[in-house]
Amino acid sequence: MRMVAVLAVAALLTVSACGSGDERRPAAPDTVEVFTWWAEGGEKAGLDALIDRFGQDCAGQRFENGAVAGGAGVNAKQELTGRMTRKDPPDTFQAHAGAELLDYIDAGQVQDLTSAYDSWGLRQAFPTGLIDDLTVNGKIYSVPANVHRANVVWANPAVLKRAGVSGVPRDLPAFLADLATLKAAGVEAPLALGRDWTQLMVLEAVLISDLGAQRFAGLFTGATPWSGADVAAAIADFGRLVAYGNADRDALDWPQAERLLIDGKAGYQVMGDWEAADLTAKGFTGYSWFTFPGNGATFQWLADSFTLATGAPNPDGTRCWLRTVASPEGQRAFNAAKGSIPARTDVSAAGLSLYQQSAMADWKSATQVPSCAHGSACSQGWQSAVNQALTAWSAARDDTALQAALVTAASRFVR
């Protein structure tokens, strides 16, 4: 009771101090609040490496950690929306390059960084395609920290060996056969699964296998219909894979599903390559990996980028943070710990992990397709609609209803 009263008085004081309903934090001229969803494991290790560089590059500035835990930003994005509405933005926030960033640009929530690109020489530092995904009407709105790959399968080799599974499955039928072998050998959940967006990653990987890279990419531009028989077949394949997963999938975030892999209760997990760093951070270094079966030479990409928020309390300090993110040293330190590869093209692979070296080579040679679960292909509205459809499917297992919901989502959100 007493606590409630104290809080209520504090809240009143805040409101009256800041004026009618504007709850903006008092300006802290030397503090940069960095808002992410990187709160533990390999994600936190990546952020920590950037904080360290920021301390060296931006003397006199203080880092404030605004991280909100929850894979793929499920909680952070909601919190950010609330803060934007209350006109209480952090100085900088994490946003995926592509459609997701366009949401913030359209809403006027991020500032133009074009002049910083020019004065820091960044136009030449990043691949042209990536710059295009950060640009609207000739203006560039964020600084990419990395490139992640989504369509990867991570494996626990000891589990596979015990069950007599060897080699890399070349296609979906071979993968399903290996999952069946694991199941028959008594592995509890051959394929570790988590909540909605992690299931979307599996569905997207299956769609790449079944439709091919070009038709898959067309699903997000309107060139490929979601109503086709090929999408229906992919949903059926997706259901076959999910049947080899853990029953409590909808209650798990990705690190909890990953725990099944580490503990030998699962053989495989489909996850982006933040998993490489996270497994390492958790002391599980004996993992193996392969591109999702049937995806061929397709690299499903996403990129984390940092913005200068509209109304940022400390724009100068934030520019220094962004310069650190963009620098070769910042990109090397961050990516070495985060599992992704540098977005800059002039950072060498030396000293990065074996996985990262292979990803750097693939990024140059493979066909690139975007990710809906991680915002390079889909706006936030589209992501939410698809995630809701998957949660409903996971409970009812109604393939027809799932496809209908995917068709509706595309018709509402395709640009």
Helix, strand or coil, per DSSP, at residue 405 = helix
Q: Contact between 374 and ligand GAL (CB under 6 A)?
A: yes
Question: Do strands 92-96 and 304-306 pair parallel, antiparallel, or not at all (unpaired)?
Answer: antiparallel
Residue 152 and residue 355 in contact, taking contact as beta carbons nearer than 8 Å = no
The pattern of x and - marking residues 285 through 324 that bind ligand GAL according to CB under 6 A reads -----------------x-x--------------------
> Two tokens at 104?
């913030």
> Two tokens at 160?
């596979």
**Residue whose CB is less far from ligand GAL, 148 or 179:** 148
Helix, strand or coil, per DSSP, at residue 199 = helix
At its nearest, how many Å lie between ligand GAL and the CB of residue 308? 19
Task: Report which of 109, 112, 107, 118 is spatially closest to residue 134, judged by C-alpha positions.
Answer: 112
Q: Contact between 149 and ligand GAL (CB under 6 A)?
A: no
Residue 89 has phi, psi (to 5 degrees) of -70, 150
Residue of 32, 45, 58, 72 that binds ligand GAL (CB under 6 A): 72
Residue of 148, 195, 323, 344 that binds ligand GAL (CB under 6 A): 148
**Residue whose CB is less far from ligand GAL, 178 or 274:** 274
Task: Report which of 340, 409, 344, 347 is spatially closest to residue 379, judged by C-alpha positions.
Answer: 409
> Number of residues in contact with ligand GAL, rule: CB under 6 A?
13
Region near ligand GAL per CB under 6 A, out of 50-58, 66-74, 202-210, 289-297: 66-74
The pattern of x and - marking residues 230 through 269 that bind ligand GAL according to CB under 6 A reads ----------------------------------------
Q: Contact between 53 and ligand GAL (CB under 6 A)?
A: no
- HEC assignment per residue over 123-190: CCCCCHHHHHCCEECCEECCEECCEEECCEEEECHHHHHHHCCCCCCCCHHHHHHHHHHHHHCCCCCC
At its nearest, how many Å lie between ligand GAL and the CB of residue 232? 28
Residue of 34, 35, 41, 43 that binds ligand GAL (CB under 6 A): 43
Residue 301 and residue 371 in contact, taking contact as beta carbons nearer than 8 Å = yes
**Residue whose CB is less far from ligand GAL, 72 or 172:** 72
Task: Locate the DSSP E strands across 258-349.
Answer: 268-270, 288-291, 298-302, 304-306
At its nearest, how many Å lie between ligand GAL and the CB of residue 274? 4
Residue of 41, 66, 71, 294 that binds ligand GAL (CB under 6 A): 71
Interface residue list for ligand GAL (CB under 6 A): 37-38, 43, 71-73, 96, 148, 272, 274, 302, 304, 374
